[in-house]
Amino acid sequence: MKPSSAFLKTGLVAAFAAPLALAGWGLLPAAQPDERVHVIRLGHGLNRDHPVHKGMEFMADDVARRSGGKLRIDIYPDEQLGNERDLIELLQLGSLAMTKVSTAPLENFSPLFQVFSLPYLFRDREHFFRVLDGPVGDELLQASVPFRLKGITYYDAGARSFYINKRRNRPVRRPEDLSGMSIRVQRSRTAVRLIEVLGAKPIPIAFGELYTALDTGTVDGAENNPPSLYTTRQYEVTSYYSLNEHTYVPDILMMSLDTWERFSPEEQEWLQTSADASSLHQRVLWEESVRESLDAIAKSGVGIVEDVDKEAFRRRVQPMYADAEFRHPQIQDLVRRIEALAGAAAPPSGGGGR
């Protein structure tokens, strides 16, 4: 796939790509001369306080223990190696071993991930995890293999809801309240379409630039989960946070397929087991973080809007289900199977990774 202009223009990423091409999954000498250590470099865009980052730290500690120090994961947060699209491209090039990305930008690489961006597809958190921990979740983790990407596990990224900056200072309770607003979206066709259907103007902006965009009025609002709103301090320039919970979009731990295939079966098992354990650990961290984040956001003076008419939002977005990209037989099959799990019993949880 042709690298984006952002990739070509990002000096830091370009400078890092050359050495990573040689050592992205690199071998470093261990304590004994006849042993080797595989160093896995993991880049992502979240800060160190985010529960997803802490989940990955848990994985790094766990795999080091399981492997007796033969596998080591070095984590580079805060977009040190580039934004999400940059990092996905580095994985495809084999210049980076691992990253964490939202499923939204993955749509541009593996179209089946569009299903996660369909609004109100998941009825609640329990329904969401039944899907991730079952056959549908497994299939979607493998959907990126033709694009030289290996899905390892899911991390909980909660439900996404709308927040409005202090300049607009308007609570959102119904779809009509978004009319005429400019809303930041991820670089995803489905995310753009959602905002358009709700009567607002979608503005794709890199996540690291969003605080300034909200503060200056470049956008009127955005949508994300409570921990992301809090840990990025975007709540400082926010007036209202409306809990309409339109999508449950997971984060996915992705690996370069080239790197994965270079590991022995034993090393693959160590890594997969640690990743699955970190997924379950991170879910607990996430629930705690959501409660703490909402409490801190409210104490800062942001209005938390709970009396949202979710049924009005659900009715407004129904035309999206008839869009051309969602009429593809594979997408329709996924939607049917996901909807069928809305009231099903939960499967034994393996952390969402296979």
**100 neighbors 252 (Cβ within 8 angstroms):** yes
Q: Is 48 exposed, middle or buried, given 0-12, 13-18 or 19+ CB atoms closer than 10 A?
A: exposed
- What are the two backbone dihedrals, phi and then psi, of residue 138, each rounded to the nearest 5 degrees? -60, -45
Domain 5-110+142-156+250-290 shares a fold with domain 159-248+299-329: yes
* Span between the terminal Cα atoms of the chain, in Å: 26
Q: Is 15 exposed, middle or buried, given 0-12, 13-18 or 19+ CB atoms closer than 10 A?
A: exposed
**CATH superfamily name and code, 5-110+142-156+250-290:** Bacterial extracellular solute-binding protein, family 7 (3.40.190.170)
Sketch the domain layout of the chain as residue ranges: 5-110+142-156+250-290, 159-248+299-329
CATH no., domain 159-248+299-329 = 3.40.190.170
Cβ neighbours of residue 117 under 8 Å, at least 6 residues apart? Answer: 103, 104, 107, 188, 190, 191, 194, 247, 249
Name the pTM for this structure: 0.82
Q: What is the pLDDT along the chain (354 residues), one digit of tens a residue?
A: 433 433 333 333 333 333 443 344 433 444 444 468 999 999 999 999 899 999 999 999 999 999 999 999 999 999 999 988 899 999 999 999 999 998 878 887 788 998 998 999 999 999 999 999 999 999 999 999 999 999 999 999 999 999 999 999 999 999 999 999 999 998 888 889 999 999 999 999 988 899 999 999 999 999 999 999 998 999 999 999 999 999 999 999 999 999 999 999 999 999 999 999 999 999 999 999 999 999 999 999 999 999 999 999 999 999 999 999 899 999 999 999 999 999 765 554 445 444
